[in-house]
Structure 1
């Protein structure tokens, strides 16, 4: 006679330790990265020639008097030694205060909030498009034979090497000037997203495609795929049910890097296509020596990057059970 049913044992403290250590490590990494990027950006922007007080009183062409410039320096603490300004700024950051934009004369949070939505939408659509292109290219090159694999490899290398500004110009000449299908600048609606998304997605798909193709080749030759084939699994099932999941692991790990690459590329793309976003705002702030806005944008982007990398790390642990016991 079977014994009485017993409840499954609860997770032991030892089983929970890897997750606790991982959480503390990620939290410490977030704090360190935010401090590092704010420090490097604060001092780097000071190396640009020019006077930040000019941005406060209207820019280099404002022809402000010496008295007005001095008053602006005193009001914003720019007359203090640089290290004192740095410590003061760190104190504000510790309380969540990013300060006020010199050029826009409004809260940095407000200035970023007005533009970050467009950049995040552009980055998300580009990441999705790059992933779909990479999967399609990798699947075709792996399943269609050696010639297709060689052609796919060349296409991936070319796509990964294409500069954003050159690709944007080519796409505008082809789809806007030549065919007249899409607007040459970003306009409201889906049509205004197509060319900026393709400009960011195509180079990224080259990197992701190379990684996925090599992973797919390894997966198709692995014992678990051979075992599934002996059980009568068809080619389509082998690819979608077994090999693709294995190949997705390294691609998921690259998603955090890909997000950072897309944000950096957004500076060029948003400028070329006259699209509102934090990339374009960052370029304008650097030119105007708007220190609070530059540091604020960099900190927000770094925080988004750390958030995305944390999600990709979690996704890795979900897809690959072997990582769940690793810190």
Structure 2
């Protein structure tokens, strides 16, 4: 295959993979939401408490195609998605794209800040655990393991009890100010930091045993200089690759965190839409999250190629 066609083939494969992921997510979401007990027609008429008549329910089902076989409804959904139409929310009577556009920024800001904090903490723990001495390695390893095992709902409850109720330093719910972001960001970042730190520590210790480390020390580099300039770069590559997964992990965690801290975002929107069996809203939110995951995964591959030129060379040689 000509060299000039290789980038085109890579792009085509990426696009095909992205389309397949989005189709699979839409399909699984559509059939899963139909397993939830309840009637979507009730959501359209204001929820279970609307006391809508049977005649009104039948009319709504006919208007929205809910009286059609499930396969027909599925085909209609795919047809709308193919032209970029996410549909209209059953419960809000608003285009799904409009609702998501108003909520996605808050969730992405929360996820991005949590990812940045997780990286900072993970790098600090990895450098500490790679320092000489068993005590530092044992203590940092214990912190990493504990942090990675903490569930979001428990950590959020403890943070609110300590920093809001007991000390009064931070608000327990979102208040529109930067201070309202602190506890949600920490809640999301701490478990991820523990996981990333464990991954980076193993690769950092392995890098310190490589010949390039000995050569750097022989040239007069200090021990901390070797870890920062050489070993850390190699240890960060696996964590960079996992950052795409981390964004998906953080956004899924936002479902819990946004609910606990009463913070507007896709998480709370998804929970509410699922309770109401708002199929277009649930499908739209999950699809947008999947699209963000795909885009971030592609971006992390590019960043990894910059950090480690060997990856770029390997791709060019295919």
**TM-score with structure 2 setting the length:** 0.97
Map of 1:190-201 to 2, 5 A cutoff? 190-201=178-189
Residue among 267, 277, 288 paired with 1:289: 277
Q: Is structure 2 residue 198 aligned with structure 1 residue 210?
A: yes
Please give the alpha-carbon distance, in whole angstroms, between the structure 1 residues aligned to 2:167 and 2:125.
25
Q: In 2, Cα distance between the equivalents of 1:32 and 1:222? A: 40
Q: Choose from 127, 133, 147 the match for 1:145.
A: 133
Aligned to 1:58: 46
Aligned position for 1:312: 300
Report the alpha carbon displacement of residue 154 of structure 1 after superposing the two structures with TM: 1.2
Determine the C-alpha separation between the residues in 1 that align with 2:67 and 2:100.
27
1:18 positional shift: 4.2
| Counterpart check, 1:92 vs 2:85 | no
Aligned to 2:310: 322
- Superposed displacement of residue 144, structure 1: 4.6
Runs of at least 5 residues in structure 1 that lack an aligned partner in the other structure: 1-11
Moved more, 192-201 or 23-32: 23-32
Describe the shift of the 1:276–1:144 C-alpha distance in structure 2 as closer, same or farther (beyond 3 A): farther
- 1:126 and 2:114 correspond: yes
Deviations 1:112-161 (A, max 9, x none): 11111100000000000000000011111111522111111111111111
Q: In the alignment, which of 23, 46, 49 is matched to residue 35 of structure 1?
A: 23
Q: CA deviation at 1:199?
A: 0.3
31-40 or 145-154: bigger deviation = 145-154
Deviation at residue 244 of structure 1 after TM alignment: 1.1
Aligned twin of 1:159: 147
Query: Which SS does the other structure have where 1:143 is aligned?
Result: coil
Give me the CA root mean square deviation: 1.2
Shift, 1:21, TM fit: 3.0
The Cα of 1:13 is off from its aligned counterpart by 3.8
Cα distance in 1 between the residues matched to 2:164 and 2:275? 30
Q: 2:287 aligns with which of 286, 295, 299?
A: 299
How many residue pairs were aligned? Answer: 315
Q: How far is 1:22 from its partner?
A: 2.4
- Whether 1:223 and 2:239 are equivalent positions in the alignment is no
Alignment match, 2:65: 77
List gaps (5 residues or longer) in structure 2. Answer: none
> Mean alpha-carbon deviation: is it higher for 229-238 or for 247-256?
229-238
Q: Report matched runs for 1:222-241 at 5 Å.
A: 222-241=210-229
Q: Supply the distance in 1 between the matched residues of 2:138 and 2:216 (Cα, whole angstroms).
A: 27
Matching residue within 222, 229, 235 for 1:247: 235
Cα distance in 1 for partners of 2:232, 2:256 equals: 33
Bigger mean CA deviation after superposition, 71-80 or 98-107? 71-80
Q: State how far apart, in whole Å, the 2-side matches of 1:303 and 1:132 are.
A: 26
Aligned to 1:3: none
Matched, 1:22 2:7: no
Residue 276 of structure 1 is matched in structure 2 by 264
Q: Deviations over 1:178-230 (max 9, x none)?
A: 11110011111210000000000000001000011111101111111111111
Structure number with bigger Rg: 1
